[in-house]
Structure 1
Amino acid sequence: MKKRYWFLVIAVTVLAAAVYINYPKLDLISGFAAKSVASGHFADGRTLQMIEEGDNDIPLVDLAMNAIDEKNKWATASVFGLKTRKAIWRDGLGAMLVDDDFDASKPYNIPKRNTVKNNLAFPYGDAEPKDTFFENVNYGKLQKAVDEAFDHSTEKFKRTRSVLVVYKDHIIAEKYDPGFNKKSKILGWSMTKSLTATYFGILQKQHKFDIFKPAPIAEWKKDKRAKITTNDLLHMNSGLEWDENYETISDATTMLFLSKDMTKVQRGKCAAFQPNQNWNYSSGTTNLLSGILRKQFKTHQQYLDFWYSSLIDKIGMQSMFIETDMSGNYVGSSYGWATTRDWAKFGLLYLHKGNWKGEQLFNPSWVNYVTTPTKGSDGRYGAHFWLNKGGYYPDAPRDLYSANGFQGQHVFIIPSKDLVIVRMGLKENPGFDFNHFLKEISGSVKG
């Protein structure tokens, strides 16, 4: 009896200590959990169990107790009954974390979509891709590489959800983990950053924006931040303070899970370095860019529509949607959802240097711009795209560049091979060996 008593005392003490140590993080933990549940369930139809065993299977986040309200379209989460957070679903805008002051009954604008279907085959339409055989593709080697990217049985080592390989606009390999398929919408996390940057390429082609002029931020005009250009922001070398750490309370986690207006967080930071002197990856910078985009339009409705009419719907990414913050800004750093096939279309747009069915969405020179290494990145980063010029993946082609996201979301673009490779999952380097993955797939295509 005494042993059982002392075991209980120790267990309660350990639990209390864990709560005390992590109490400042509880807002973030329950915020992440509630947002993840609301998005995954209402966007993609995932069950609560599937989300908790997949999307929310992250240390500390897995402590959250979650619930779904089907009638009101929201999800709640708390940790040991503390710090309850709510995320509501709004058709057209996705899931959004809200605070106690948010008025969910207030009318809101939603983007106008052009989702007219056609009978064209992938990637230019919604019909199934045509079967095509390429003599220079080693299909056995390709399929083996794709199969090796997935776990077997109940393993949780590689945690791949989908792989899609497109060669010369044709799907030559496609596979999904149980519970996912070609219609599953998957969060791209920071792959959304590459999408956000693309709008500046589109506006530049339309002669509506000059990225080389000082960033249009009124608060910066009277101090040394006045020298920061939009070009600096796109290259993540503005010199502004920022802490991008997802394992603790940081600028990034505070912004994503506590801020009402995510465009303001980076805007209020002080300059720690001169522009173009210090590369520092920053989700706050991308949301600041989303705020700059919003200022280019006379109305909020025009801002909402532009993201779809100029790009997403233009290239038939009909499954895609971008979620907003409480102030109605697109969370351009992190919250883009789409099917694997639609993510591949974004890669193909870049593979074709901005041309889609004969229409030039951005200038071909924009591709050179985003793939030019940022000073201080060791050839790893360009303008909101990741690069392989420095050989980060030593056995993959050096001209490879990609849109990357948290937990190993990737759209790889390899011009020399005419390839786009999409991998979605829950494990990134070094847990998942992307170098081997890319080596084997690119090596299966000769010439």
Structure 2
Amino acid sequence: MNARLHIVGGGMAGSEAAWQAASMGVAVTIHEMRPRVGTFAHRTGDFAEMVCSNSFRSDDDAQNAVGLLHWEMRAAGGLVIGMADRHRLPAGGALAVDREPFAAAVTRELRGHPLIEVSEGEITALPDSGHWIIATGPLTSGALAEAIRAETGAEALAFFDAIAPIVHAETIDMSVAWMQSRYDKGETEEERRAYLNCPMSRETYEAFVDALLAADKTEFREGETAGYFDGCLPIEVMAERGRDTLRFGPMKPVGLTNAHRPEVKPHAVVQLRRDNALGTLYNIVGFQTKMKYGAQVDVFRMIPGLENARFARLGGIHRNTFLNAPTLLDDRLRLRSRPGIRFAGQITGVEGYVESAAMGLLAGRMAAAQILGRDLAPPPPETAMGALVHHITGGAEAKTFQPMNVNFGLFPPIEAKGGRKGRKDRYRAYTDRAKTVFTEWLAGQD
């Protein structure tokens, strides 16, 4: 068996795909354009670099669909989730990651694997033969995106994605801010104090919203008409939807008590989450933005406790592309017109680091199986991975297809037995069923 799997892109999906295929005994070449060709969002040439957030979201595998996806990836020997666990930070019930050591660890594992080689440079055209996975992510280069459009005969859909700012911890006024996870969630004292909280009175909140609405913002170029992904809306776009939208969203004050003034209930609260293991950097949770840099500094320093904040990174906005997967891909993530080419990651229309890595895991396994002379079907739709694949490759309406996070609404319903089930019981039934079915799917590959 001399066939080699070529993977374009070393992000979450490409890294996971390479690891899975190599673990099955298939030789892999990762083609990565960074650092020779940079992007708006990336800062290094490491694989699996995290740019939008440092969070893999909830790690609750009994009550949350993304937590279930974590469980499935662990069960499948996932590299990305394994390195995330190794480099996790306190974040209450979430899986937050020390992003730079995490990416460095993924890079070492891949570069050190005897069956994986790395080719640095940009791929600008679709290959004519061989086994390929395109895992270029939402920042697919213009030349490759144009080649994909030419092959599919259809315009890739697009949306705008935003990045939140990061603050130097030493510049946060801790006489105003306090450390507490919402509802004191977490098993340890460190986890229960995983977030920094900055309180706002009604007057401060109203002035903050006014400043957000009036601030100078990045304008789209002529012809750019894409919308936003609802899970990553710029904060000023949320403010435009109503003056109380923010305090019922990322700035909700519930589950928090001001340690400095416990008798005063904040009107709104800005939360910051640790961004590195040293605790020297914090990102402002939910504060993705399209404000211009100067405006960001002025507006964000209106937040109590951040009056003298210094920013390690300001927010920004960039254009993401993704395929109309229900039309273009089969359930093995293959391009219908060119079955030697698979797609994985956000370009397939999943949203989020975990979902992207999960699609890489499946694409890598399915491509390796084909090279080894057998067919591997995706997991059943009762599993988190299977539900995502089913949604993007046929379950979603092609005309209205938009990026999607994993959620229990994608799973086949469970019939309540012995009376109506509450939400917690129903979610537990989903996860119990999924774990059983996913375990059977893995066992079928031995």
The question of a shared fold, defined as TM-score above 0.5 by the shorter chain, is answered with no
Of structures 1 and 2, the one scoring higher in RCO (CA 8 A, sep 6+) is 2
TM-score normalised according to structure 2 size: 0.29
TM-score normalised according to structure 1 size: 0.29
